[in-house]
Amino acid sequence: MKKAQVVKKIIVREEACIGCHLCEFYCAAEHHPSKDVLKAFGPGRERPRGRVRVVEEGPVSFALVCRHCDEPLCVFACVSGAMERDPETGKVMHDPERCVGCLSCVLACTNGTILWDEKRGVVAKCDLCPGREVPACVANCPNEALLLTE
């Protein structure tokens, strides 16, 4: 049987997370047209949003980030065909142009890592930073709480 392609994944090591939220900042900057932290978060600008979210309580903190599942239930739930598995890279990719904001993917995602952008009426999720060798969050985590693995 043809197995799903292996794709590089971001592994979360919650024991190493110090709750600095830098992954959130660098993700937001990477997905801002300028791809620059200072420009993205400059004064007077609308605060940009990334696709990774840090949750914390007491001593525990970690990033919630899409794991590009071998079994992408979000792709299988998507009504509009906006959520697809890239046949070459195996990445689970979301097309905001086709998205209708039905949130079926949110119902399907067993990790709760798909973000709802109420303002734009579409969802957002990790795209493993196309154009970068190492995703921005992994590259900028100071304590290896986010790792890339093939």
Residue 106 binding other proteins, by CB under 8 A = yes
CA dihedral 136, 141, 145, 148 (to 10 degrees): 30
Site for other proteins in 52-71 (CB under 8 A): 55-57, 60, 62, 64, 67, 69-71
Residue 93 binding other proteins, by CB under 8 A = no
- Pick the stretch among 19-27, 43-51, 75-83, 129-137 that binds other proteins (CB under 8 A): 75-83
Both structure tokens of 82? 């906006």
Q: Do 66 and 137 touch, CB atoms closer than 8 A?
A: no
- DSSP H or E run through 11: strand 9-12
Residue 103 binding other proteins, by CB under 8 A = yes
Residue 80 binding other proteins, by CB under 8 A = yes
Q: Which of 28, 109, 129, 137 binds other proteins (CB under 8 A)?
A: 109
Q: Which of 110, 130, 142, 143 binds other proteins (CB under 8 A)?
A: 110
SS3 70: coil
Both structure tokens of 74? 């979000």
Angle at 65 between CA 145 and CA 26, to 5 degrees: 70
As measured in angstroms, the least distance from the Cβ of 83 to other proteins is: 12
- Write the burial class of residue 85 (CB in 10 Å: 0-12 exposed, 13-18 middle, 19+ buried): buried
- What residue ranges bind other proteins (CB under 8 A)? 1-4, 12, 14, 55-57, 60, 62, 64, 67, 69-71, 73, 76-77, 79-81, 98, 100-104, 106-112, 114-116, 118, 121
